[in-house]
Amino acid sequence: MKILQKGFNYSQDGPGNRLVYHLQGCNFKCKWCSNPESMSPDFDGTKDYTPEEIIGEIKRSKMMFFDGGGVTFTGGEPTMQYDDLLCVLKMCRESEIGTAIETNGSHPRLFEMSKYIDYMIMDIKCPDDEVHKKYTGHSNLETLKNLKRLTLSGRQLHLRIPLINHVNTNPEPFNKLFSSVNMQNVKLEILPYHEYGKCKWISEYEITDGFVSEDTLKAFTEAMQSHGINLIKT
């Protein structure tokens, strides 16, 4: 497995204290990405591990998984390393270690993997496919298919919307999407635009007016709440 970085984090990447692995490579090219160095599968700063080395490190860290913690795989896009990730997830399940992933939801076999994931965090960046392709370089069709599969199964799901001015601040497409799926076991987190990773871009950073106003954020939040959606903050 190609790992860009790893370390402990509390509650932001799943419940409790967690060992977080940033896997290298992403099939999306989001114009606001905070970790642009994670996009290429061949970034020089990565280190290779076998699944056995990863699970060994996770087991040695088990005493640190307090408050319902465990291990989280993020990216990049962790499902880009599907086979190795699935292997580690299965070994975590055998060792009774809680697992989480942060994903863009685009892998066609995500639902198959989900049975070994205790806590899934998935981005819904924009319901409109053409707008999605414009700002991420990738279709959202598989993501929306996986959203329907996962919600229909009744599995826990933590959705995140990165809210970006001029990109996705209209709540109606989101409300239409969420009205078409089973949101009973879904939590939604709204993440206002930031520029924490702007300095890491080597190529031109194309988002010039992404910050959302307090009024825009409030209106979007209230629109979600009016449809009975369970909103959370981490």
Tell me how many domains the chain contains. 1
d(C-alpha 150, C-alpha 141), whole Å: 14
Query: pLDDT digits over 131-179, tens only?
Result: 999 999 999 999 999 999 999 999 899 999 999 999 999 999 999 999 9
Report the CATH number that the domain containing residue 141 is assigned in CATH.
3.20.20.70
- 7-59: pLDDT as tens digits: 999 988 999 999 999 999 999 999 999 999 999 998 888 999 999 999 999 99
Which domain range does residue 169 map to? 2-231
State mean pLDDT over 204-219.
97
pTM for this structure?
Answer: 0.96
Q: How do residues 70-104 score in pLDDT, each as one tens digit?
A: 999 999 999 999 999 999 999 999 999 999 999 99
